[in-house]
Amino acid sequence: MTEHVVIVGGGTGGSVLANDLADQLGAEIDAGDVRVTLINDCPDHVYKPVWLYVPFGKREPSDARRPLDELVDDRIDLQINRVTDIDTDEETLRLQDGRDVVEYDHLVLATGSTLAADEIPGLAEGGHDYYSESGATELREELLSFTEGHLVLSVVGSPHMCPAAPLEFVFMADDWLRERGLREDVEITYTYPIQRVHGNPHIAEWARPIMDERDIAVETFFNAEEVDPEEDVVRSMEGTEIDYDLLVGIPPHRGIDMIADAGLGDRGWVDVDKHTLEAEAADNVYALGDTAATGVPKAGSVAHYQAGIVAQRIASEIRGYPATATYDGKTLCFIETGMDAASFVEFDYESPPSPAAPSEKLHWSKLAYNESYWLTARGLL
């Protein structure tokens, strides 16, 4: 009997996992004992961290895309299709363009985050973002011609992808505007939903003095309730409001509805054991990356490391061994502090982050990794 592993989602987690499984189970796949299917609703793999640089004219949206079939091992059955339904009792999936159900023995959900700007009235109309390809492209049009006024970055929803990216954006905007001689004509304000500037207190403690030094105004406990695009005002649940000339909003995020429909977790995030990444509500189901509700950042490094753990666990299960690999919360993140300097953090469930002193070397390390990311997606780095 052939064991069937199905991975839903071809982002960082899904691609790395597929290639890891092809590597670890190559002999079994070649012998016909194991089949690995990767299902993605788009033929391209998208590396989202590139979008941070698009509004500043430093990268093109096309730099973030590569065809999945060039990245995924030939032994993987790649299907461009959309999964519409999961039945964890029957261990089957339904596809949008398929008449038959897909049976699985091991299911991995790596469906990622979606943006839900519509949860905040006026945000889609009044705000811009760099958390989507279209958003980053439209923000570039605005930012490149923005020479004076009030630039407001508001973190509306949390959790969101790449928790450091809002800090990076205001640090980069500050530096970029200074270099162009425009900073005195542009006021920058950063808002955050809780009482500090980042969810992690260690990163918040590090970032706040830099913001103060660089005259980046901060509004904490600011949970945007509505955006008024007519008046150019964003109003908070806490009763405050801020006028803006250019609003960059980090929209609320959700997973996909199918996950809640399958009873696997709320808002599209799968409830998992944070060490084994096994779904709590169903057998033979894993989730990883943004999709897994582990409490760690929704970041590419997390998806990368978790994919390695899930690959080892599934390979062990298929071979009849106890699955012993566990995820320890490992997260790596470069944090741009300007256009030519960056910091770096590394942490896990037990060890808090300690941001490195910003340097040009770390900035170039981040850019170098972004270029070599395609080796990660191939399972090589």
Closest distance to another protein from the beta carbon of 20 (Å): 26
193 interacts with another protein by CB under 8 A: yes
Span from 2-10, 99-107, 291-299, 311-319 in contact with another protein (CB under 8 A): 291-299
Contact 163, 155 (CB under 8 A): no
In DSSP terms, 333 is beta-bridged to: 345
Question: Roughly how many angstroms between the first and final C-alpha of the chain, as a whole number?
Answer: 33
Residue 263 interacts with another protein (CB under 8 A): yes or no:
no
Report 29-88 residues binding another protein (CB under 8 A): none
Provide the H-helix boundaries in the chain.
Answer: 12-24, 26-30, 68-71, 123-126, 133-144, 165-179, 201-213, 257-261, 300-319, 360-377
Q: Which is nearer to another protein, 43 or 201 (CB)?
A: 201
Residue type, 348: D
**Residue 199 in contact with another protein, rule: CB under 8 A:** yes
Q: Which of 237, 357, 368, 375 binds another protein (CB under 8 A)?
A: 237
Return the bridge partners of 80, or none. 40
Binding test (CB under 8 A) with another protein, winner from 61, 98, 149, 159: 159
For 117-155, letters b (16+ CB in 10 Å) and e give: beebbbbbebbbbbbbbebbebbbeebeebeeebbbbbb
Positions in 300-329 near another protein (CB under 8 A): none
Answer yes or no whether residue 275 interacts with another protein by CB under 8 A: no
Is residue 121 a contact residue for another protein (CB under 8 A)? Answer: no
- Nearer residue to another protein within complex by CB, 127 or 338: 127
Q: Closest separation between CB of residue 223 and another protein, Å?
A: 6
Q: Is 295 near another protein (CB under 8 A)?
A: yes
Amino acid at 21: L
267 dihedral zone (left: phi>0; alpha: psi -120 to 50; beta): left
Strands 246-250, 149-155: pairing is: parallel
Which of the stretches 85-93, 182-190, 231-239, 373-381 binds another protein when contact is defined by CB under 8 A? 231-239
* Residues of the shown chain interacting with another protein in the complex, contacts defined by CB under 8 A: 119, 158-159, 193-195, 199-201, 221, 223, 225, 237-239, 274, 293, 295-296
